[in-house]
Amino acid sequence: MIIVKTLREIELMKEAGKVSSRALKLAGESIEPGITTAEIDEIVRKYIESHGAKPSFLGYGGFPASACVSVNNVVIHGIPSKKCVVKDGDIVSIDVGAYLGGFHADNAWTFPCGTISKEAQMLLDATKESLYEGIKAAKIGARVGDIGNAVQQYVESRGYSVVRDFVGHGVGAQLHEEPSVPNYGTHGRGVRLCKGMTIAIEPMINLGGYEVQVLDDDWTTVTKDGKLSAHFEHSIAITEDGPLILTDYGPESNK
Ligand code: MG
């Protein structure tokens, strides 16, 4: 069942979005050669808790941390670790959710550490742009397939591939709600978008093939070919004025 939100509920989700996107921004600013992914997680947890919110991911399905931190060929769900030291030239995807006022907000960003290759920078740029292409398609009356199609067209025309095994989702009182929001799809297909729907759009884009593999810890998801992967995500609301980004205080915001 798709749960549509009232304007009041969307306002509450904006508050959760403020906390989760500011935590993400802060985490990104901490990235430098030598930091561990456990230290990044700690920054996220402290920020969220000190703002009266709860980290959405901590304990979710047994996940042991407040942020997913996924380096290089890790696509998503990287478990923060004291043993995972970030190096110059790495790309670091951080996924953060905050629960405040009865609602979750979920967002992710992939950051460069120090100087990264041109190839890596182009992947980050294309993945980020594809997120905004997907958001642009999220209008009242459009379909979920229009969002996926916009993301897919943007990245595949640049030679990248779209992860199939993991998708975006509705977000609200639950971290994951209906509908599923794939990053691939066909125009005019899928659930019709209506006023008050709140969804997380989150392209996971690979430099090589789209196939991924979940490691023995049951979380860490890597590219099968070992090549780089990037991940950007916003939680948005479908409104009469167009898509409204709820997590709009993130890495590139000056709010
Ligand atoms: Mg998500």
Say what the pTM is.
0.98
* Pairing label, strands 177-181, 229-231: unpaired
When the candidates are 3.40.640.10, 3.90.230.10, 3.20.20.70, 3.40.50.261, the CATH number that belongs to 7-245 is: 3.90.230.10
Burial pattern 150-183, b for ≥16 Cβ within 10 A else e, equals bbbebbeeeebbbbeebbbbbbbeebbbebbbbb
Query: What tens digit of pLDDT does each residue of 184-225 get?
Result: 999 999 999 999 999 999 999 999 999 999 999 999 999 999
Q: Rounded CA gap, 65 and 46, in Å?
A: 12
Classified as helix, coil or strand, 47 is helix
CA 33 – ligand 1 centroid, Å: 27
Strand partners, 162: 205
CA 89 – ligand 1 centroid, Å: 26
Query: What tens digit of pLDDT does each residue of 102-126 get?
Result: 999 999 999 999 999 999 999 999 9
| pLDDT beyond 90 at 1 | yes
CA 122 – ligand 1 centroid, Å: 23
Supply 110's token pair.
């992939």
CA 31 – ligand 1 centroid, Å: 22
Q: What's the pLDDT at 6?
A: 98
Q: Rounded CA gap, 84 and 188, in Å?
A: 43
Query: What tens digit of pLDDT does each residue of 161-181 get?
Result: 999 999 999 999 999 999 999
Within 8 A by CB and 6+ apart from 153, the residues are 133
Q: What's the pLDDT at 254?
A: 82
Residue ranges of domains in the chain: 7-245
Mean pLDDT of the chain: 98
CA 233 – ligand 1 centroid, Å: 7
Query: What tens digit of pLDDT does each residue of 126-168 get?
Result: 999 999 999 999 999 999 999 999 999 999 999 999 999 999 9
Q: Rounded CA gap, 111 and 189, in Å?
A: 33
* Pairing label, strands 91-100, 103-112: antiparallel
| pLDDT beyond 90 at 8 | yes
CA 67 – ligand 1 centroid, Å: 11
Surrounding residues of ion ligand 1, Cβ less than 5 A: 106, 200, 202
CA 184 – ligand 1 centroid, Å: 16
The predicted model gives 35-42 an average pLDDT of 98
